[in-house]
Chains A and B, each alone.
Chain A
Amino acid sequence: MTEKLNVFAVRTLTQKEYFAPGHRACQGCAEALAVRLVAKALGRNVIIASATGCMEVVSSPIPFTAWRVPWFHVAFENAAAVASGIESGLKVLMRKGRLPRKKIVTIALAGDGGTADIGLQALSGALERGHDFIYICTDNEAYMNTGIQRSSSTPFGASTTTSPAGKVKMGQITWKKNMPAIAAAHNIPYVATACPSYPIDLVEKVKKAASIEGPAYLHILSVCPTGWRSAPELSIKLGRLAVETGIFPLYEVEHGKYHLSIDFPRLRPIKEYIRLQGRFRHLTEEMIGQIEERVRKEYAELKEKAAKGVAR
């Protein structure tokens, strides 16, 4: 019953687990937490197409599964295409009367590598074709499953196994690809960012995405203690700091209109976020200043868009 309400509090969240405990994610994995919340928000009438990655590996060692909803893994770069097929298959079978008509939400679930790098083409195609599905990117900012290699979603300065901090290079030398902006540029009805440190906000956004007809894109920051070299018990705190420092602002783009989910009159210094993570240990004051400057600038631009209520 509560699932039909438009207002959510933690207590209104179902106690049912659709992403069951017993999966093999690392301690403190905020991606597993994000997926658990996503599954709770969606309920049972859902089909999930997962890309290759941590969530696929930890949840599906044959003959076990952590999924209590229909779940499908095909390959790394094609979650959006597989979800397109699922959505189309259901649509045509219901139209032809071979399946009873009911609302089934189709989800594509992929990490940042499966989204911003190898899966970008399939994602763009699916958004352009206008399938009624939700694409969820759980972004832990590197290829964690294969051992912390950099992706185009890895933030500037972060040390990974393929962007190591060395004597002449200071970790990742490129800036994080802005996936939500790329998704929004497809003029789809709904784009949002979320973080499991803000569970109610996350659940609300998933429900909103599910209720909207047409493609929706959710970008969820997922703290990865293993890859970020952070203490597992700090995952929730780090997610909050990412938002409060302005590094990962929470916002929605509804039919092109930007809206900040939480606004901060004053952002916290990014040092508070950075010093809790081993991947940034090598950063000099100068580099931290450089990052801070960029974060402030991008946050201001976002606020401006939200104030104007327009897309670009």
Chain B
Amino acid sequence: MGKRVGMEVSIAAAEAVKQANVDVISAYPITPQTHVVEHLSELVANGELDAEFFCVESEHSALSVCVGSEATGARSFTCTSSQGLALMSEITYIASALRLPIVMIIANRALSAPISIWNDHSDVMSIRDCGWIQFFAENGQDVYDHVFIAYRLAEDRNVLLPAIINMDGFTLSHVIEPIEFIEQEKIDRFLPPYQPVHRLHPDRPVSMGGIALPPIFTETKKAHEVALQGSMPKILETWKAFGDMTGRYYQPVETYKAEDAETIMVIMGSFGETASAAVDLMREEGRSVGLAKIRLWRPFPFEAFKQATLHAKQLVVIDRAISIGGPGGPVASEVKAALYGEPIRPVVYNFVAGLGGRDVSPSDFIKMVDKAEIEIEEGNREGYEIYGVRE
């Protein structure tokens, strides 16, 4: 078993990047991502990590540099938040379509305006369809572990897609948590150096990034869709291999006391631990409440989600982003789509909560479940509201 250390999650994330033997790091500072890249630059400056580190002039260039370096076969890493992600969003679509296995950590933060440095999921939801594998981390250990999982998966020749690890800004990035470190030899075995299928090199010239005319564009998109959907078995396999190595087994949808629950809360990211505490409090009162945590956002785990939730009477989906003018939060939309084809399905009640760093405590989760159960009983079967608005 590895060493267990109390450490700020951002620092642990940077340590994982070091242990993953990343070759090129390119980033631009933005709160709350800064501690990750600060620590990485220290590691490079002290010679603890042999990598090219660039503090570039924008996030757009940060990802563009990674696209260039990854295309030569160098393992590349970037990290951003919020406006930075919005600025680099153009390149996120290109990186995945070019099948470049870059790994990016997003310290999730609200999108302006008004400007807010605090956490929600609106940044990553703005690139929902960018074609990357997307994980949501619940705690620091998840973030640390998923750096290795993400690289091994992304670089798998049957996958070759970039991957995003979502780490809630401040509520996760800046807290000190116990992290169990993995021995370097184990990591080196789990994650050998990247061997690209094609690389930019004069010995074997290739052209990458050509123009697609209408007779071929659709086929390129189909290929990308097949690749991302087809990555699911590899994701499960990689988690299994990681679990066998560390004893920590991950699932696309993880549940807590949900097996027999009539009401299941559905969340993503660092809500998980707080919501679990709320479940315990409600269970103590004899209420039949459980929790489903979506760890894998893309490809969306439809089957696993149904397995985890179909037996419930109602789902209370708590989104941390809003789709203004749309049907509610992005997670609720996905959940409804996942359940739509089922003859008997739970009612879905949707809250948007915790925007721009608004704290959501266990008592808030209980209030949301209370409200949803009352509303549903009164016949409001497709409810959606923003929780905790001060009026």
Residues of A within 8 A of B (CB): 44-47, 49-50, 56-57, 60-65, 67-75, 77-78, 80-93, 95-96, 98-99, 104, 121-122, 124-126, 128-129
Question: How far, in Å, is A22 (CB) from chain B's closest CB?
Answer: 14
Query: How long is the Cα–Cα vector from A292 to B337 in the complex, in angstroms?
Result: 67
Q: Which of B26, B60, B69, B70 has the most CB of A within 10 A?
A: B69
Contact indicator A56/B211 (Cβ below 8 Å): yes
Contact indicator A92/B74 (Cβ below 8 Å): yes
**Residues of chain B within 8 A of A89, CB atoms compared:** 23-24, 52, 68-74, 76
Contact indicator B202/A70 (Cβ below 8 Å): yes
Question: How far, in Å, is A265 (CB) from chain B's closest CB?
Answer: 43
Give the contacting residue for B60; candidates A47, A70, A81; CB below 8 A: A81
5 tightest CB-CB pairs across the interface, nearest first?
A85-B68, A89-B72, A125-B57, A60-B210, A89-B69
Binary interface encoding of chain B residues 19-63 relative to chain A, with 1 for a CB under 8 A from any of its CBs, else 0: 000011010000000000000000000000011101011101100
Known contacts: A60-B207, A104-B202. The answer to whether A81 contacts B68 by CB under 8 A is yes
Question: How far, in Å, is B79 (CB) from chain A's closest CB?
Answer: 16
Question: How far, in Å, is A19 (CB) from chain B's closest CB?
Answer: 11
Known contacts: A88-B74, A122-B60. The answer to whether A82 contacts B65 by CB under 8 A is yes
Residues of B within 8 A of A (CB): 23-24, 26, 50-52, 54, 56-58, 60-61, 64-74, 76, 90-91, 94, 98, 193, 200-202, 205-213, 216, 220
Query: How long is the Cα–Cα vector from A93 to B24 in the complex, in angstroms?
Result: 10
Contact indicator B61/A122 (Cβ below 8 Å): yes
Which residue of chain A has the shortest Cβ distance to B61 in the bound complex?
A81
Give the contacting residue for A88; candidates B24, B61, B200, B210; CB below 8 A: B24
**Residues of chain A within 8 A of B98, CB atoms compared:** 74
Contact indicator A60/B211 (Cβ below 8 Å): yes
Question: How far, in Å, is A237 (CB) from chain B's closest CB?
Answer: 31
Query: How long is the Cα–Cα vector from A89 to B210 in the complex, in angstroms?
Result: 21
Query: How long is the Cα–Cα vector from A205 to B197 in the complex, in angstroms?
Result: 35
Which residue of chain B has the shortest Cβ distance to A73 in the bound complex?
B209
Contact indicator B52/A47 (Cβ below 8 Å): no
Contact indicator A65/B210 (Cβ below 8 Å): yes
**Residues of chain B within 8 A of A90, CB atoms compared:** 72
Query: How long is the Cα–Cα vector from A84 to B54 in the complex, in angstroms?
Result: 9
Known contacts: A47-B201, A62-B210, A70-B202. The answer to whether A85 contacts B71 by CB under 8 A is yes
**Residues of chain B within 8 A of A83, CB atoms compared:** 68
Question: How far, in Å, is A219 (CB) from chain B's closest CB?
Answer: 21
Contact indicator B58/A121 (Cβ below 8 Å): yes
Which residue of chain B has the shortest Cβ distance to A122 in the bound complex?
B61
Known contacts: A75-B91, A89-B73. The answer to whether A122 contacts B64 by CB under 8 A is yes
